[in-house]
Amino acid sequence: MYAMSNVGNTIAMVLAGGKGERLSPLTTRRAKPSVMFGGKYKIIDFVLSNLFNSGIKKVYILTQYRAYSLTKHIRESWGKWTGLGEFFVSISPETSSESEEWFKGTADAVLQYLRFVESSDADYVAIFGGDHIYKMDVSQMIDYHRRNRADLTVAALEVPVEEASRFGVFSVDEDYHITAFAEKPAHPECIPGRSTCFASMGNYIFSTKKLIEVLQEGKKRYEDLDFGKHVIPMMLEHRDKVFAYNFNDNIIPGMKAEEKGYWKDVGTLDSYYEANMDLINVSPQLNLYNYKWPILTNQGNLPPAKTVFDEEGRRGMNIDSYVCAGCITSGATVRRTILGPRCKVNSFSLVEDSILFENVTVGRNVTIKKAIIDKNIVIPDGTQIGLDHDQDRLKGYRVTESGIVVVSNPDAR
């Protein structure tokens, strides 16, 4: 356990049902939380690692859309790391819900599994999203919630006022007591005494009794019960004690200054690409080499990565790159690229500024520039990707406005 303080008796529910449509075609057959990030990880590994490192090991992962690969990942990795009375379990409305109905809103997802909350002896329920990249000691947020004797505490991202209209924004008093909430307001209200605003991160700590009460009331009033749209306004209407927790105040062991406040949505192909590419910088904003707060995942039983051949014109080289286990760079050049597990790049090929998912094979004399290649794809000898976007489109690849070429596998999960 890496948490700095006691989490009390807390269970967690992770909302992992998002379609991630803006990440299409990477999300054609998989949910957004199941998309690879940083070569070896899934996006959901970040929130689960935060909970695990914080000492919260009773976790329900609520899945929905294209849940197969996500459920398999939870079972094969997170399901193995808990003991008696601890669990990381994936549940889906298509298999587990009594009503067998799809979730209609974020709060409706928790409502459908309220029996798990009611049957627990938990004092607090942490409800977190499963599709963001960040590090957080959740125990500090729970301490804050406890000290304020709050009914609900919402994690808040401090953002410049000119960016705040893209988020759900809280109005707060000097004590960070939330007085109002507006979704994507045209004129966002600033934090008292500052030129910044509090944007919702979609992460909540509820006192258990209050959560049960408000969801049961919301069930009678709204069919598509949602935390931001319905639950928070209802609680403000009732004058419940609702507080904002400033994410900038959260400090994890081993954190570097540049990592403070790091939080990425990676909801578009461009933001996803940029966040991955940051990892290969000399000093990335997100430090995956902090062993005091590790990001955990299914490591697999793979051999080390290796390079092959050292001849003029045929030299295996990985330069400024992030190379996962099981990779072979055979007489090829890989530069500023992330190679997922078990990738092979064959002789006389060049891969630059790209992200290759698991088990991609690149043939000989191939050139790939600024591309995302989905898992299990074989790139034939002589192929060129990213050099002529008109030709890329004719081949059926997606090309973003910023020039990222996406080669998808319709069967990948």
- Binding-site residue ranges: 168, 183-184, 200
Q: Which H/E stretch holds residue 50?
A: helix 44-53
| CB 125, CB 10: distance < 8 Å | yes
DSSP string, 4-46: SS---SEEEEEEE----GGGTTTTSSS-GGGSEETTTEETHHH
CB < 8 Å & 24+ apart, contacts of 405-408: 405/370, 405/371, 405/372, 406/25, 406/26, 406/269, 406/371, 406/372, 406/374, 407/371, 407/372, 407/373, 407/374, 407/377, 407/379, 408/25, 408/26, 408/28, 408/374
Q: Which of 359, 358, 360, 363 is nearest to 346 (CA)?
A: 363
Going by the annotation, the residues of the binding site for alpha-D-glucose 1-phosphate are: 168, 183-184, 200
Residue from 330, 331, 336 nearest 351 by CA: 336
C-alpha gyration radius of the chain: 22
Cα four-point dihedral sign 221, 222, 228, 229: negative
Under a CB-based contact definition with an 8 Å cutoff, are residues 135 and 289 in contact?
Answer: no
**Nearest-angstrom CA–CA distance, 117 and 247:** 26
Residue 385 vs residues 35, 267, 276, 392: alpha-carbon distances, Å: 22, 24, 19, 6
377: three-class secondary structure by DSSP: coil
Strands 314-315 and 328-330: unpaired
Q: Give me the half-sphere count of Cα atoms (radius 13 Å) on the Cβ side of residue 31.
A: 27
Q: Is 59 helix (H, G, I), strand (E, B) or coil?
A: strand
Decide: helix, strand or coil at residue 282: coil
What does the alpha-carbon distance between residue 299 and residue 331 come to, in Å, rounded to a whole number? 27
Give the pairing type, strands 328-330 and 306-308: parallel
DSSP 132-169: -EE---HHHHHHHHHHTT-SEEEEEEEEETTTGGGSEE
Please tell me the distance from the alpha carbon of residue 135 to that of residue 143, in angstroms, as a whole number: 17
